[in-house]
Chain A
Amino acid sequence: MAQILTSKKLLHNLTICLLILAVVMCLCTFVGSQRISLLKALKGPGQSPGYNIDYEIFIIRLKRVILAAIVGAALAASGVILQALLRNPLADPYILGISSGAGLGAVIAVLSGITFTFAAGSPMAVFAFCGSILTITLVWYIGKSAAKSQLTSLLLAGVVVNAFFSAVIMFLTSIAKSDQLRTTIYWLMGNLTDKSSPVLIIASVSVIAGITLMFTLCNKLNAMTLGDQEAHALGVNIPRVRLIAFAVSAFITSVAVSLSGLIGFVGLIVPHAVRITFGPDHRQLLPLSAIAGALFLIMADTAARSLFGQEQLPVGVITAIAGGPFFLVLLAKYSRKVSWLK
C-alpha cells in the first residue's frame, strides 16, 4: 500500500505540523509554577527590572519553550539521518560516541573549575560541545581506516569509544566532591535551564541551517537506504553524502547536547513514530521528525517543570516514561497498516 509523496502533500503535511507546533508553543508558555496573565505580560518590560513580573516570567518560559523546540528538532533530525546512514533502526544521535564525549567534556569543565565562556553561555556547554565534536571525529577516522565494511567498523568504533570514555567519566566522578558530583549527574540526566538570548539565537540558527542542509540530501538518502550498490547505480556519490550527512548530524547533535545535557529517547523513537505514521520517504520524514521532536520535547519539558509545583523533574525521565508506552501503542496500531514493517 505504498503512497507516493507529492510536493503538494508534503507542503500540506508540513504546514499542518508547523501550525500545531506554533499552537503548542503558545499554550505551553502559559503553564508553569506561577500564574501569569497574557494581557499584563504584553505590556512590556517597564523601566526597571521587577516592574512587570508577568512579562519577565513569560519571556523566561518562551525562551525555555524555544530551547526545547531546538533541542528536540536537532535530536530527532539527527536520529533520522543516522538511522538512514547506518541502515540500523536502533541508531540514535548518541550512538557514535557523542554522549560520552560530551559527558567527558562537561565533567572536565566541572572538575577543573574553568570559567571560560562563549557568548555568555556556560563553560560546561563549551566543553561538552568540543568534547563531542572531537569524539565523533575520532570515531569517524577509526571507522574510516578499517578495511572492511565502513558501517560496521563505524558502529564498533562508536561502541568502543563510548565504553572507554564512560569509564573515564566514572573515574572522574569517583574523585569528585559532592556538589560537583551532583552537578555532573544533573547535567548527564538532561535538563533545559534558562540560557542567554545570544546562545539561543546562535543555537537556533545553527540547528535550522543544519536541518535545511540535510533536507537537500534527502533524495540521496532515499536511494542509500536501498543499499550501497543500488545507490551507486542511481548516481549517488556515497562517500561524499555520508561525510556531509554525518558531519552535519554530528554538529547539530553536539549543539543540542551542549545546551541540554543528554536527553534520551527523542532521537531514537520520534523518527520511528513519524515513519510509522507518515511513511519512510526522507523528504517528508526529516522535516516532520524535526517538528515532532520539537513538539515532544516541549510537552515533556512543560510536564517536567509543572507537574510538582516548584520541584523540577529531569526532562529525560518524562521523555522515557511518556515516550515508551505511546510508541508501543503506535506500533501496535499501525504495524498492520504498513506492509514494509513486516
Chain B
Amino acid sequence: MKKIAISLIISISICVAIAIIANHYKNTPKNAPVKKIPQRIVTLAPNLTEIAFGLGLGDKIAAVSSDSDYPPAAKQKPTVGSFWQPDLESIIASRPDLVISLWFEQQKAIAESLSRLGIDTIILRIEKIEHLFDAIKKIGDATNCTKQAEELTEKIRKQIEAVRLKCASSKKPRVLWVVQTEPLRIGGRDTFLNELIEIAGGENAVGFTLQKYPQIGTEQLLSCNADVIIQSAMSSENIEAQQKTAELFWAKKNSLPAVKNKNIFVVNADLVQRLGPRLPHGIEIIAACLHPEILEK
C-alpha cells in the first residue's frame, strides 16, 4: 500500500511539473527572428492555392495540396497530401517558411505541429464571402503583397457587384440548393450557398432554419414551391451523367414548379463552391441557372 501511494505521488508530481513547464513555455515567446519575406510557401487547400497564385506568388509556392487543380501551373507543383489529410512529413520535406492552412481540426493540428517546429503558419477560417476578403488581406500582409491583395480584393468585389446589378430584378426565383439527396439536405439561410443565391438575384425557397444544412422532409419540400433546384455534384467528373440522374430523381416530385419547368441544374462544386478568386465566375454560373433570360448559359 505504501509503495503504491509513493509511486502514485511521484508520477502525479512529474505530470503536474511537466504541465506547468509546458504552459510556461507556451506563454514566453521565443526570440522572434527578423521578419523575412517568405520564399517557400505551402498551401493546404485548393482555394488557398488559387488565392496565392492570384496574388502573384506562383514562383514562391513550394508545394500544394493534391487536389489543387487551378491554375494549371498548380498541377505541376509537388503535393503534400490531400485536403482532408495533409502529410506532415512531406510538408516539412518541402522546407517551407510559410504554411497556409484552413481552420478545421485536421489542418489546425498539422499547423500547430508545424509551428512547434518553428515554421510560420497562417490558419484561416474561410466560410463566407467576407472571410475570403479577410483571408486575402492576411495572406497579402504575411507575404509582403499588401498592394496585390488590395487589388485582388477590389477586382473580386467589383465583379460580384456587376453580377449582382445584372441580376437585380423585382422577381426573385425561389431556389432550393440541394447538397445531398439521400437523405435530402439543403443549404439553409445562414450559409455561404445562400450568399451565392442572393447575389445571383434569387431567394432561398426554405425559410430560416436552426441547422445550417437541415434535412427537410417531403412535406416541407412540396410546400416550398421552388422555382429552381440547384444540386451540388458529388464529384467533378461526369457532370452530364449526374445531371441525368438528378432529373430522374426529381421527376417524381412534379408538383414543384422547378420540376415542371425543368429548372434542375447540377453544378460543379469545384467551380461554384470554392471560396477563391474564381468566385465571381461561380456566381455567374448560378445566375445563369436562375435568370437564363438575362445571361447566356
Interface of A with B (CB < 8 Å)? 32-34, 48-50, 53, 56-57, 60-61, 110, 118-120, 122, 124, 174-175, 177-180, 182-183, 186-187, 193-194, 196, 198-199, 201-202, 205-206, 209, 212-213, 216, 244, 310-312
Contact = CB atoms under 8 A, between A and B. Distances in A.
B18 A213 contact: no
A50 B42 CA distance: 14
A118 B19 contact: yes
B90 A311 contact: no
Contacts of B95: 50, 53
Interface size class of B (residues with CB under 8 A): 35 or more
29 contacts: A34-B89, A34-B92, A57-B92, A60-B88, A60-B89, A61-B89, A110-B105, A120-B22, A122-B105, A124-B105, A182-B106, A183-B104, A186-B106, A193-B113, A198-B18, A198-B21, A202-B18, A202-B19, A213-B7, A213-B8, A244-B4, A310-B79, A310-B80, A310-B81, A310-B87, A311-B85, A311-B87, A312-B81, A312-B87
Contacts of B217: none
Interface in B53-104: 66, 79-82, 84-85, 87-90, 92-93, 95-97, 104
Given A34-B90, A50-B95, A202-B15, A209 B7 contact: yes
Nearest to B20: A119
B23 interface: yes
A209 B11 contact: yes
B8 A183 contact: no
Contact of B26 (A120, A174, A175, A209): A120
Contacts of B207: none
A196 B3 contact: no
Contact of B87 (A33, A48, A179, A186): A33
Nearest to B33: A48
Contact of A311 (B10, B18, B82, B116): B82
Given A175-B211, A198-B22, A310-B81, A60 B87 contact: no
B92 A205 contact: no
A177 B109 contact: no
A302 to B, nearest CB: 13
B105 A34 contact: no
Contacts of B250: none
A310 B90 contact: yes
A216 B22 contact: no
B93 A57 contact: yes
Contacts of B21: 198
B104 A179 contact: yes
Contacts of B14: 205
B297 to A, nearest CB: 29
Give chain B's interface secondary structure class. Answer: helix
A49 B18 contact: no
Interface of chain A: mostly helix, strand, loop or mixed: helix
Contacts of A194: 88, 109-110, 113
Given A179-B104, A196-B116, A201 B92 contact: no
A18 B238 CA distance: 55
A15 B71 CA distance: 58
B15 A206 contact: yes
Interface string B105-144: 1100110110011110000000000000000000000000
Contacts of A205: 11, 14-15, 18
A201 B112 CA distance: 18
Interface of B: 3-4, 7-8, 10-11, 14-15, 18-19, 21-23, 26, 33, 66, 79-82, 84-85, 87-90, 92-93, 95-97, 104-106, 109-110, 112-113, 116-119, 211-213, 215
B158 to A, nearest CB: 30
A110 B106 CA distance: 11
Given A118-B19, A120-B22, A196-B22, A178 B213 contact: yes
Contacts of A124: 105
A209 B12 CA distance: 9
Given A198-B22, A201-B18, A33 B109 contact: no
A61 B4 CA distance: 34
A227 to B, nearest CB: 25
Contacts of B84: 182, 186
Contacts of B90: 33-34, 310
Nearest to A306: B89
A60 B89 CA distance: 8
Given A49-B118, A202-B15, A177 B33 contact: no
Contacts of B119: 49-50
Contacts of A110: 105
Contacts of A53: 92-93, 95
A124 B108 CA distance: 12
Contacts of B3: 216
A230 B31 CA distance: 65
Given A183-B105, A194-B113, A205-B11, A32 B85 contact: no
A48 B11 CA distance: 34
B275 to A, nearest CB: 13
Given A57-B89, A194-B110, 20 more contacts: A50-B118, A53-B92, A60-B88, A119-B19, A119-B22, A120-B22, A120-B26, A120-B116, A175-B211, A183-B105, A193-B88, A193-B109, A193-B113, A198-B19, A198-B22, A206-B15, A209-B11, A212-B7, A244-B4, A310-B81
Nearest to B80: A310
A183 B83 CA distance: 12
A201 B25 CA distance: 15
Nearest to A122: B109
Contacts of A120: 22-23, 26, 116
A314 B119 CA distance: 26
